[in-house]
Amino acid sequence: MIELINIKKGFEDREILRDVSATMESGKVNLIIGASGSGKTVMMKCMVGLMEVDSGHIAYDKKNFTEMDTHQRKELRKQIGMLFQSSALFDSMTVEQNVMFPMDMFSMGTLKEKRQRVMECLDRVNLKDAAKKLPAEISGGMKKRVGIARAIVLKPKYLFCDEPNSGLDPQTSLVIDQLIKELTHENNMTTVINTHDMNTVMESGDHIVYMYQGQKQWEGSNKDIIFSKDQQLNDFIFASEFLREAKEMRQMEIFQHKDWRDQLKK
């Protein structure tokens, strides 16, 4: 579990994160959603220590990350996997070498053990055959999968993905979402995803944090979204007439189930 407690972060005289408190739950896919510029990437960078918060603190399983010294942070980083928006692969390294990179950095195990783990991860993302290829020789969706293999190679407890579906078609996006969801549940990771993708929200959002103008506006699950009365959230999620109608239809459908009616009465 990752807790953000009264986080504030600004640049010069601009406040970007304005007193944000939220919890990223373990074993779940936690989504951070919100309009462009609402502070999602800044929040993720603060969580992994790429940026320092101005006030408040971040705790990883009750351990205060904000107050950790360099050595403690380095130890924690070994448990963090990160998938960057652009995949951020090294162009001159093969797929296999890219995935091996974090293991080399933390000098874990013998070459044989490292190779074995790399192949395990490539197999998991269905890319064993591409091990010897260079990033320039593979598609955007494959690059994301290499990025995922690299992010999980050290068996992290925490996985961060900034816009994992950017630049992908809807079907490839679903494959990536499914893969991240499966890995999260298989390995009981705390996964945090920044996303704009409404398919991801509806399919994978075990726990969703909605950011609006630097503040946490709403928090809940994809099922709660259907019944949310938060105006800002509704305007953001159900932006088109088509989606608003789909929401109403879904509400009616759910409402016909007695179990749901009973639950709503509580």
Ligand X SMILES: Nc1ncnc2c1ncn2[C@@H]1O[C@H](COP(=O)(O)OP(=O)(O)OP(=O)(O)O)[C@@H](O)[C@H]1O
Report in angstroms how near the CB of residue 217 gets to ligand X at its nearest.
13
Q: 34 touches which of Mg ion, ligand X, none (CB within 5 to 8 A by kind)?
A: ligand X
Site for Mg ion in 148-167 (CB under 5 A): none
Please give the Cα distance from 103 to 118 (Å, whole number): 9
SS3 184: helix
Residue 195 in the binding site for Mg ion (CB under 5 A): no
- Residue closer to Mg ion, measured from CB, 41 or 204: 41
Please state, in angstroms and as integers, the Cα–Cα distance from residue 160 to each residue in 76, 132, 172, 257, following that order: 14, 26, 19, 36
Q: What number of CA atoms fall less than 13 Å from residue 194's CA on the CB side?
A: 23
Q: How far is the CB of 194 from Mg ion (least distance, A)?
A: 6
Where on the chain is the footprint of ligand X (CB under 6 A)? 11, 16, 34, 36-42
| 41 sits near Mg ion (criterion: CB under 5 A) | yes
What is the sign, positive or negative, of the torsion defined by CA atoms of 256, 259, 264, 266?
Answer: positive
- Which range binds Mg ion by CB under 5 A, 41-49, 100-108, 209-217, 255-263? 41-49
Q: Could you tell me the smallest distance in angstroms from the CB atom of residue 121 to ligand X?
A: 27
Closest CA to 197 of 230, 226, 171, 232: 171
State which residue, 41 or 217, has the beta carbon closest to Mg ion: 41
Q: Are 216 and 210 in contact (CB under 8 A)?
A: yes
State the residues that interact with Mg ion by CB under 5 A: 40-41
